Amino acid sequence: MTTTPGPVAGQGGLWRSALHGVRARVALAVLALVVLASLAGPLVYRVDPDTLDFARSAAAPSLQHPLGTDESGRDVLSRLLVGGRVSLAVGLAAMLLSVLLGTTVGALAGLGRRWADALLMRLTDATLSIPTIFVVICVLTFLGPSIPTLVLAIGATSWMALARLVRGELLALREQDFVEAAASLGARPLSILRRHLLPHLWPVILVNATLGMASAILTESALSFLGLGVQPPAASWGNMLSGAQVTLFSQPWLAVYPGVLIMLTVIAANLLGDALRDALASGQ
């Protein structure tokens, strides 16, 4: 898909046309609700998420603990709210890193010399051809699992699709008259990129970012299952889900809450990315 030349519709136009559909509106509402609950929830619901109470371990929902307690007697609701912050933050940060890497590699390949393009695209092919989970595990065992290393490992292994897309867009754009005009007026390459090309790239980046955040949240939960996600006692939806395996039959709700929240968030992010992509395709 190549961008049409001429005036840029801008993000506002893309958002407007994407949000025409009901699905996209519902998705955005769900995401907003999840984000709001995670950010504001712990300020309103002030139960400590780390207090252990083995006398009440894995208790059913009650007035004191509206969603019950987990296997160590910690309040589930407050852990879900605090864990939401962690999961969303990891997803967001990993997505930002992957967008930054993908755009940079794509821009260098699309605008650079032929040898740079060839080298960077082979690097992209190489990264696409390996099962990245092993690399992620190696990085995490090497550096030790923590939120920054998780973000680094997930972000550094998920930039390839965007790099290819950005490169493709730029290869088409660099032949356009307005780019040539800017260049002949003496604009420096970096300022051409920033002022004339980047506005055309935003839609592609936005779609990719939405989908990337969804997959980063899923990756964190898979790593939690291997014991390499966010480390307890800190809560994340991923490690709550993996902690709930033990009691899945006696206290199934412990697995249901974080599972449903992960699913809802990921589905909403995927739906939104899809609606943006459709809006992008139909706008051209």
- CA distances to 44, 171, 203 from 97, rounded to whole Å, are 31, 23, 17
Among 19, 137, 183, 187, which residue sits at the site for other proteins (rule: CB under 8 A)? 137
The values of phi and psi at residue 175, to 5°, are -85, -10
Kindly state the smallest distance separating residue 57's Cβ from other proteins, in Å.
20
Q: Please, where are the H alpha helices in 112-251?
A: 114-129, 132-143, 147-156, 160-173, 177-184, 189-192, 198-225, 237-243
Phi, psi of 155, rounded to the nearest 5 degrees: -65, -40
> C-alpha 2: how far from its chain's center?
24
101 Cβ partners below 8 Å, 6+ apart?
Answer: 155, 156, 159, 163
Residue among 45 and 225 whose Cβ is closer to other proteins: 225
Q: Is 172 in the site for other proteins (CB under 8 A)?
A: no
Nearer to other proteins, 54 or 142 (CB): 142
Contact between 148 and 97 (Cβ < 8 Å): no
Q: Is residue 142 a contact residue for other proteins (CB under 8 A)?
A: yes
Q: How far is CA 165 from the centre of its chain?
A: 17
Regarding 266 and contact with other proteins (CB under 8 A), the answer is yes
Which residues inside 173-232 make contact with other proteins, applying CB under 8 A? 214, 218, 221-222, 225-226
Q: Which amino acid is at 43?
A: L
| Residue 42 or 258 with smaller CB distance to other proteins | 258
Per CB under 8 A, 262 contacts other proteins: yes
Nearer to other proteins, 166 or 182 (CB): 166
Burial letters 65-92, b for 16+ CB under 10 A, else e: bebbbbebbbbbbbbbbbbbbbbbebbb
Residue 135 interacts with other proteins (CB under 8 A): yes or no: yes
Of 78 and 221, nearer to other proteins (C-beta) is 221
The single residue among 11, 57, 104, 132 that binds other proteins, judged by CB under 8 A, is: 132
Tell me which amino acid residue 254 is: L
* Nearest distance in Å: CB 245, other proteins: 6
**Based on CB atoms, which residue is closest to other proteins, 192 or 255?**
255
Please, what is the minimum distance in Å from the beta carbon of residue 81 to other proteins?
20
Binding site for other proteins (CB under 8 A): 122-123, 125-126, 128-135, 137-138, 141-142, 214, 218, 221-222, 225-226, 238, 241-242, 245, 248-249, 255, 259, 262-263, 266-267, 270-271
